[in-house]
Amino acid sequence: MTPQVRIPAVYMRGGTSKGVFFRLEDLPERTQTPGDARDRLFRRVMGSPDPYGAHIDGMGGATSSTSKCVIVSPATRAGHDVDYLYGQIAIDSGALDWSSNCGNLSTAVGAFAIAGGYVDAARVVDGLCTVRIWQANIGKTIVAHVPIAEGQVVEMGDFELDGVAFPAAEIVLEFVDPAGASDALFPTGHLVDTLKVDHDVVPGGMIRATLIHAGIPTVFVQAEDLGYIGAELRDAINGDVDALSRFEALRTAGAEAMGIVKTARVPAIAFVASPIDHRTSSGREVMAGEVDLLVRALSMGKLHHAMMGTASVAIAAAAAVPGTLVNEAAGGGERTSIRFGHPSGALRVGAEARQADGQWIITKAVMSRSARMLMDGHVHVPADSF
């Protein structure tokens, strides 16, 4: 008989994602360092690979938004409270991507760090507790402002986040220097590029794109160039095999133009449009004047039900720079914040942009999310699975 191993863990929602959170020191010793054992453990925790695409035998939720694991550990960087490492697990293949961040789950890291004892108790006082997070996947700083009452994280509140059914307490996130000194905000040096693709991808074989590296490398194209209006819901894209193939071709062309190695998540691909009256996935009617622009993004090859947090950073950054396709869709001009529509509703994001030596720099991007602990205890995995 193969026994099961019990591993302390917390199941948390962060923004419009959820995942299994671990303290590094609670993991089995052979999985405390990167490698095959850790990857196999996380696959088994999620229930991947699953040829049925259902994640029945694991903690995963059978969507890209719910097939995630997080490791939090004591900070290795001065001036930070914790290190945060994120893994995205493919549902069908079990491929594990360590190449980028999850902006949504970043919201839950601050709360988890406080509850897990990583933050000095003297700082956990009524009001807002500032948690400085080192995002180890991409080497960036995230600052979470977590509400506190009576020494505990406040989870309940009246902040509503489209894509999440119930209100909760607001957590403000700051993504510091999301592009970074070593990463050009616009890798090609242009605000708008022309990508060359096969004629069956887009008529004429060429399409305009904004290629930006902030939050996550992202390829932005115009909805109308693909025959869309920008208000499409998931079934309209995810049920169209040809459409998904075209988006993958555009993503590949964008990666080549940006000079980056394409992975399952990088770069992201999104299409934008000026606002129109439309319906969200919940059936709510949204008037054009309620948002500045419409954005739809794909995650792990499928249209996201709301918006990835890292892509939200890219949207905020691109909108702040006059002349990008995102900025143009929002009406043009200088902008420090926008409200964009996504399949589940809308989200307000902001970014601080400036020019230095002829180059655009984003000093920080800001957004509000919420987080909640769903369950804590232990996950059980077969001892021979890792």
Q: How does pLDDT run across 77-102, given as a tens digit for each residue? A: 999 999 999 999 999 999 999 988 99
Q: Quick check: is 308 catalytic?
A: yes
How far, in Å, are 51, 184, 209 from residue 178 at the CA level?
36, 10, 20
Question: Domains (ranges, CATH) in the chain?
Answer: 4-170+371-385 (3.10.310.10), 193-359 (3.10.310.10)
Which position among 102, 129, 300, 367 bears the catalytic label? 102
Query: What local confidence, expressed as pLDDT, does residue 180 receive?
Result: 64
Query: What local confidence, expressed as pLDDT, does residue 1 receive?
Result: 81
Q: Quick check: is 307 catalytic?
A: no
**pLDDT-derived band of residue 265, with 50, 70 and 90 as boundaries?**
confident
Which position among 12, 69, 308, 367 bears the catalytic label? 308
Q: Which amino acid is at 337?
A: S
Query: What local confidence, expressed as pLDDT, does residue 2 receive?
Result: 85
Query: What local confidence, expressed as pLDDT, does residue 182 receive?
Result: 61
Mean pLDDT of 379-385: 97
Query: What local confidence, expressed as pLDDT, does residue 181 receive?
Result: 57
How far from the centroid of its chain's Cα atoms is residue 316's Cα? 13
- The count of other CB atoms within 10 Å of the CB of residue 76 is 10
- pLDDT tens digits, residue range 279-307? 999 999 999 999 999 999 999 999 999 99
For tokens 């996201």, what's the residue?
Answer: 304
Taking the C-alpha atoms of residue 330 and residue 16, their distance in angstroms, rounded to an integer, is: 23
Residue 82: burial class (beta carbons within 10 Å; 0-12, 13-18, 19+): buried
How far, in Å, are 4, 133, 202, 364 from residue 211 at the CA level?
46, 27, 18, 18
CA trace torsion 13, 281, 160, 334 (10° rounding): 110
Which pTM value belongs to this model? 0.91
Residue 264 has pLDDT above 90, yes or no: no
- pLDDT tens digits, residue range 165-199? 999 999 999 999 998 656 799 999 999 999 999 99
Residues 6+ apart with CB under 8 A from 239: none
